[in-house]
Amino acid sequence: MRAILGRLAICAAAAVVLALLPFTLSGLNQVLAARVALYFIAILGLNIVTGYTGQISIGHGAFMAIGGYTTAIMSADHHTNLIATLPLSFAIAFGCGVVVGLPASRLSGVYLALATLALAVSIPQLTLKFSHFTGARNGISVDGTVGYLWLYGVSWACAAILFVVAWLVLRGRTGRAFRAVRDSEVAAASSGVSLVLYKTLAFGISAAFAGVAGSLFVLATNGYAQPDEFSIFLSLYILIGAAVAGLGSLWGVMGGAAFVALLPNISQSAPLIRSIPVGGQDIAAGLVVVLVMLLLPTGLAGLLQRMALAASALRRRSGIPTAERG
């Protein structure tokens, strides 16, 4: 009970900080903070399929593209309210996720990774084929302009709603079924957990989150949807963000999201990396990933957990070092 109250207090504090934060930020930094929110959503979604259910996806950029183009096309061609396109992106990406997840539930490990990689590579190319809808390489722009503060508010509101959705899905029977599938497929099936159903469901939910993130991604990119924005690197950065956050936990996601969103700025201002003419950002990302894997193999979530264990051990003044989780 105390643990739940503690978490509620943390959530409330985070909400207050996030509500007050934009008034201290410049317009461009508000956009940057909105990008943190959209990566938060994407990593949260990837965490459901890769962290909880144990299916590696290198293809979530493709679902972001699907969401992004949904928003852009609905707004440009049908003048739909931008906020109204967000649930639509959620639904369409969910459908696509289920369609992909159904065959993907029969694949595992490196084969699944390769199949989702193919998805990430091919979906942006499809926009060139259907240029009438997508504007091909030139892309497609949403109807009207997006204000900085509006973008910040909508992005973080979506992040908050989807965080609650993820928490509700993962806390009980469904979340246990996801983890059961990851830990032992044989035991999960024998306990009545349908592997196909739960793997596909995880993929669908995860894709739906990516879809909303993609919509916000388009809005945060001057309202423009372009195939090059949804390259394979987007998928890789989300996966890297999830690894930095720590898979299988909701609490490290914020750190992973901040890392992915702020990396371009950090690497441009760091003197050593700035001096590299091309690819400095990728080198910085690679360095951080190697460091995280060496120093924090369980990501930020693992670090938080160890800190909590150490704190409770101190509080008990037992003097006995708390055993690390296996």
Which positions lie near other proteins, rule CB under 8 A? Answer: 172-173, 176-177, 179-180, 182-184, 186-195, 197, 248, 323, 325-326
DSSP string, 127-166: HHHTHHHH-GGG-EE-SS---HHHHHHHHHHHHHHHHHHH
Q: Give CA separation, 246 vs 123, 206, 210, 284, in Å.
A: 27, 16, 18, 19
CB of 189 to other proteins, least distance (A): 4
- Residue 216: CB atoms within 10 A of its CB come to 29
CB of 248 to other proteins, least distance (A): 7
* Identity of the amino acid at 292: V
CB of 216 to other proteins, least distance (A): 31
**CB nearer other proteins, residue 132 or residue 315:** 315
**CB nearer other proteins, residue 52 or residue 152:** 52
**CB nearer other proteins, residue 320 or residue 323:** 323
**CB nearer other proteins, residue 321 or residue 326:** 326
Burial bucket for residue 119 (CB in 10 Å: 0-12, 13-18, 19+): buried
Nearest to 73 by CA among 141, 131, 2: 141
Nearest to 301 by CA among 252, 240, 247: 252
Cα-flanking dihedrals φ and ψ of residue 130, to 5°? -105, 55
Tell me the three state secondary structure of residue 278: coil
**CB nearer other proteins, residue 317 or residue 325:** 325
**CB nearer other proteins, residue 81 or residue 191:** 191
CB of 129 to other proteins, least distance (A): 38
- Residue 277: CB atoms within 10 A of its CB come to 6
Contact 300, 244 (CB under 8 A): yes
**CB nearer other proteins, residue 176 or residue 266:** 176
CB of 56 to other proteins, least distance (A): 17
Q: Give CA separation, 290 vs 92, 240, 284, in Å.
A: 35, 10, 10
CB of 314 to other proteins, least distance (A): 20
The beta-strand segments (E) located in 175-265 are 224-225
**CB nearer other proteins, residue 315 or residue 325:** 325
| Cα torsion through 41, 304, 273, 34, rounded to 10 | 30
CB of 288 to other proteins, least distance (A): 26
CB of 222 to other proteins, least distance (A): 43
Q: Which two tokens stand for residue 124?
A: 């942006």
